[in-house]
Amino acid sequence: MDIVIVGQERSGTTVLRSIIEELGYENIHEPFNPSNKTPFKKFVHDQDGWWEFHNLPDQFSRYLDETKEKTGKPIILDVKYAWLDLFPSFPFLPLKDRNKPSLVSYFSSRNILPIHVNRWNKLERIVSEELALSTGLWHRRTNEEISFQKITLGCDELIAKIEFDLASSKAVSKLLSDIQVLEINYENDILPLSLGRKEVLAAKLEEVGLSLNDDNFSPTINKSVTQKYREIIENFFEVKELIKGSQFEWMIQGPEWHS
């Protein structure tokens, strides 16, 4: 069973993909990420010389088939919300599938299982993304790498960003709801790994036949934000005042928000 992880940046998609890779999957990373040099892009360059948008489904299918034949493993990949409409339309698909984003239809046609990762606290997702953009560090390796970095959040558009994030996650959940999909929540299912607890995520993955029960396999997560938010957000108190009293006030209730 091949798997595609669908989610927003800074929602736990990478750590989940790495965990599933350890279960015997071939990790092809984020093949459609325009800023990354991916194995898929190298394959296209070697085989066809360039990325042909109209021929992208065929190019990707050939890449998947060749990779699986070479490795003898099922595939795990990561697709962000923004890339779901990357492929051209599929006129050969059943009518019920044609109104889905093109990649969702493609995954359905290839029997690739989507795992939708959703981070409920969109404010913390936005902070994590802004920190990664300002530092260039999308995967934390040591605390020192981000300990002196500070960011400023644009309060004029912050509420609108949170609302857009929430609407996007709900829309993707709805689009995936009529096909087999596993819904994973960052706070409930992935974050406990930072405390050495894998049983919550293990129970979710068992729903699709994936087992984390090997005692020698203890997946962990390095949180990208390890300081209190007042230490990394220049306009921390302005942000707190903006969120207080709004419907998103619960997003600043965690210990990292205590001033």
pLDDT digits (tens, 9 = 90+) for 144-164: 555 557 899 999 999 999 999
Residues of the chain scoring pLDDT < 50: 91-93, 95, 143
Query: What does 107-122 look like in DSSP terms, one character per residue?
Result: HHHTTPEEEEEE-S-H
Give this prediction's pTM.
Answer: 0.88
pLDDT at 55: 77
Fill in the amino acid letter for 202: A
Q: Per-domain residue ranges for the chain?
A: 3-257
Q: Which tokens go with 171?
A: 């829309």
Cα 63 to chain centroid, rounded: 22
pLDDT at 38: 83
Q: How far apart are CA 75 and CA 18, in angstroms?
A: 12
Q: Which of 83, 115, 88, 85 is nearest to 100 (CA)?
A: 85
**3-257 maps to which CATH number?**
3.40.50
pLDDT tens profile 240-255: 999 998 999 999 988 8
DSSP 70: H
Query: What does 125-142 look like in DSSP terms, one character per residue?
Result: HHHHHHHHHHH--SS---
**Residue 69, C-beta contacts closer than 8 angstroms, at least 6 positions apart:** none
Could you give the angle at which helices 155-176 and 122-135 cross, rounded to 10 degrees?
110
